[in-house]
Amino acid sequence: MDFELGEEQRDFFSAVVEFASREIDPGLEDREKAGGFSRELWEKCAEFGIQGLPFPVEHGGQGADVLTTALAMEGLGLACRDNGLLFSLNAHMWSAAMPVSRFGDESQKQRYLRGLCDGSLIGVQGMTEPGSGSDAFALETTAELRGDGYILNGSKTFITNAPVADVFVVFATLDRSKGWAGLSAFIVEKGYPGLTVGKPVEKMGLKTSPMGDLFFDDCEVPAENLLGRAGSGMVIFQHSIDWERSLILANSVGAVQRQLNAAVEYGKEREQFGQSIGSFQAVSHRLADVHVRLEAARLLLYRLAWKWDNGKVTPADTSLVKLFLSENLVESTLSAMKTFGGSGYLVETGIERDLRDALASRIYSGTSDIQRSVIARDLGL
């Protein structure tokens, strides 16, 4: 077993960190106050090659292996405090570009994957509905083959990027009596007749990542925009959710490292009772615990990336990583807040933003309860 990163991977990680701190971190406070998504930063990320990282070179991607991709996302989390922007990037890459890359035909890849890699298109997935969240396959949006296209009716909710997205991978049922076997996936463009994108919804955190609902009212989707085969929706969803659960929190490993670095510095500098607070065991042990959990999170992430690169991933592997990284992110952010005392509660320190952003990670891509259920099922329970 070799735990050493290659020189090229280390150099790339440094380049990502340098890019993120110079290009996409500055100005976060203003963007957050305005509640704004920045297309300019999106394009900068694409120019650097982020959106295309794991996708084939022939379709505009970088052809990076999964470990290198995970390292890049970690580097972004370390040097960029804009968790909303990173969340939007992740949603785009794993829930839209990945299914098009894996299940799209050549013409779909030329039309969509290229643009999803080069930053000219923003994508996301529409799965969740008002009546089906954790029970995702109970969705009610229908698709009907009519003439030379499909007609979609229904609605989707909590859709990341929706207000700014150009392309949606939407799941709908062709036959409700068949349950999950009746599900199909469609590539829907924002201008299609019958599609309405709701107003941006206000949420607790991830303020620079817009979210909205989708409404399909006899929405006309050309037949060639069926993704994969009719009835293969469940397989497509499982594939993309496995990718999403694996990598959507890779940036959290960098973010927790960033928080730990700052907390250690503060622990050395801040004095109470005539000594640095880091010399109190209550403080130093708390940070030691953060360090231990961070190392575990990093190893789990890298091992999962290795599994992807070697074709050994199971859904339980991805749930395990998603569960541990999200819970670790929340715990570590709380630890950072405790270490900083009253200053940690101030907006200017940025920890409260990290906390608001972190809490969402226990919900999106399947709640922590659902991840535990997947892991328990794998144990035979």
Ligand X SMILES: Cc1cc2nc3c(=O)[nH]c(=O)nc-3n(C[C@H](O)[C@H](O)[C@H](O)COP(=O)(O)OP(=O)(O)OC[C@H]3O[C@@H](n4cnc5c(N)ncnc54)[C@H](O)[C@@H]3O)c2cc1C
| Residue numbers at the binding site for ligand X (CB under 6 A) | 91, 124-128, 133-134, 158-160, 206, 360, 363-364, 366-367, 369-370, 373
Q: Which residue's entry shows tokens 């019958």?
A: 194
Cβ burial of 95 (10 Å; 0-12, 13-18, 19+) is buried
To the nearest whole angstrom, how small is the minimum distance from the Cβ of residue 52 to ligand X? 20
- Give the nearest distance from C-beta 238 to ligand X in angstroms: 14
CB of 135 to ligand X, least distance (A): 6
CB of 370 to ligand X, least distance (A): 6
What is the closest distance, in whole angstroms, from the C-beta atom of residue 203 to ligand X in the complex?
7
Q: What is the 3-state secondary structure (H, E, C) of the chain?
A: CCCCCCHHHHHHHHHHHHHHHHHHCCCHHHHHHHCCCCHHHHHHHHHHCCCCCCCCHHHCCCCCCHHHHHHHHHHHHHHCCCHHHHHHHHHHHHHHHHHHHHHCCHHHHHHHHHHHHHCCCCEEEECCECCECCCHHHCCCEEEEECCEEEEEEEEEEEECHHHCCEEEEEEECCHHHHHHHEEEEEEECCCCCEEECCCCCCCCCCCCCEEEEEEEEEEEEHHHEECCCCCHHHHHHHHHHHHHHHCCHHHHHHHHHHHHHHHHHHHHCEECCEEHHHCHHHHHHHHHHHHHHHHHHHHHHHHHHHHHCCCCCHHHHHHHHHHHHHHHHHHHHHHHHHHHHHHCCHHHCHHHHHHHHHHHHCCCCCHHHHHHHHHHHCCC
How far CA 70 is from CA of 3, 11, 328, in Å, comes to 15, 14, 17
Nearer Cβ to ligand X (115/126): 126
CA 314, CA 308: separation in Å to the nearest integer?
Answer: 9
Output 9 or 367, the one with its CB closest to ligand X.
367
Cβ nearer to ligand X, comparing 21 with 373:
373
Q: Which of 274, 296, 297, 270 is nearest to 284 (CA)?
A: 270
For ligand X, which is the closer residue by CB, 255 or 283?
255
Least distance to ligand X from the beta carbon of 364, Å?
4
Minimum gap (Å) between residue 322 Cβ and ligand X: 12
Alpha-carbon radius of gyration of the chain: 21
Residues with catalytic function: 244
Say how far apart CA 340 and CA 342 lie, in whole Å: 6
Q: Shortest gap between Cβ of 283 and ligand X (angstroms)? A: 32
Per the CB < 8 A criterion, the answer to whether 259 and 332 are in contact is yes
